[in-house]
C-alpha cells in the first residue's frame, strides 16, 4: 500500500509547489496588481493540501527505505532535510508574509525582495523534488527487476 501512497503523495506535493511557483511567475509577468494579490492570498490556503502531502510522502518514504541501502536511497535521504528546511524556514514564512503584504495592498520593495527569495527557494525545492521523483522511479525499476529475478 505504501508503494502506491508514496508516489501519489509525492506527486501531489510536487504539482502543488509547481502550481504555486508558476502562478506567481505568471501573475508577476502579467503585471496586474489585483491578480498578484489574489494569488498571494490563495497560496497559504494551498498548504491545506501541500503540508499533509509532504508529511505522507516523508513518512512513507522513511518506512519504505528503512531496510534499504544504496546510493539512490542515500541521496534521497540527504535531499529531504534540505527540502524540509527550505520549506519550513523560507517558503512558509515567505508565503504568509507575502499574503499579509498583499492583503494590505503593500506591493513594495520588501514584498518584491521576499518574493524573489521565495521564487529562488521554490525553484530549489522543485528541482530537489523532481530529482527525488526521478530517483524514486529508478529505485522502483530496480526493485521490480530484482523481484522478477527471484
Distance in angstroms (rounded) separating the CA atoms of residues 56 and 41: 25
pLDDT in tens, 20-69: 999 999 999 998 999 999 999 999 999 999 999 999 999 999 998 888 88
Q: Calculate Rg over the CA atoms of the chain.
A: 18
101's enclosing H/E stretch is helix 92-103
Give the CATH number of the domain where residue 88 resides. 1.20.120
Which residues, other chains included, contact 9 with Cβ-Cβ below 8 Å and sequence gap of 6+?
Answer: 53, 54, 56, 57, 60
Distance in angstroms (rounded) separating the CA atoms of residues 48 and 10: 15
Range of the domain at 127: 2-149
Instruction: Report the domain count for the chain.
Output: 1
Give this prediction's pTM.
0.90
pLDDT in tens, 56-93: 999 999 998 888 888 988 999 999 999 999 999 999 99
Amino acid at each position: 500500500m505504501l508503494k502506491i501512497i508514496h508516489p501519489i503523495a509525492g506527486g501531489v506535493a510536487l504539482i502543488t509547489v509547481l502550481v504555486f511557483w508558476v502562478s506567481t511567475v505568471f501573475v508577476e509577468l502579467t503585471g496586474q496588481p489585483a491578480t498578484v494579490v489574489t494569488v498571494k492570498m490563495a497560496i497559504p490556503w494551498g498548504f491545506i493540501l501541500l503540508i499533509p502531502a509532504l508529511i505522507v510522502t516523508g513518512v512513507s518514504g522513511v518506512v519504505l527505505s528503512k531496510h534499504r541501502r544504496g546510493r539512490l536511497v542515500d541521496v534521497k535521504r540527504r535531499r529531504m532535510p534540505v527540502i524540509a528546511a527550505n520549506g519550513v524556514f523560507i517558503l512558509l514564512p515567505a508565503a504568509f508574509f507575502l499574503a499579509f503584504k498583499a492583503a494590505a495592498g503593500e506591493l513594495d520593495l520588501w514584498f518584491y525582495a521576499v518574493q524573489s527569495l521565495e521564487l529562488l527557494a521554490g525553484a530549489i525545492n522543485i528541482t530537489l523534488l523532481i530529482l527525488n521523483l526521478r530517483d524514486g522511479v529508478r529505485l522502483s525499476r530496480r526493485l521490480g527487476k530484482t523481484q522478477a529475478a527471484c
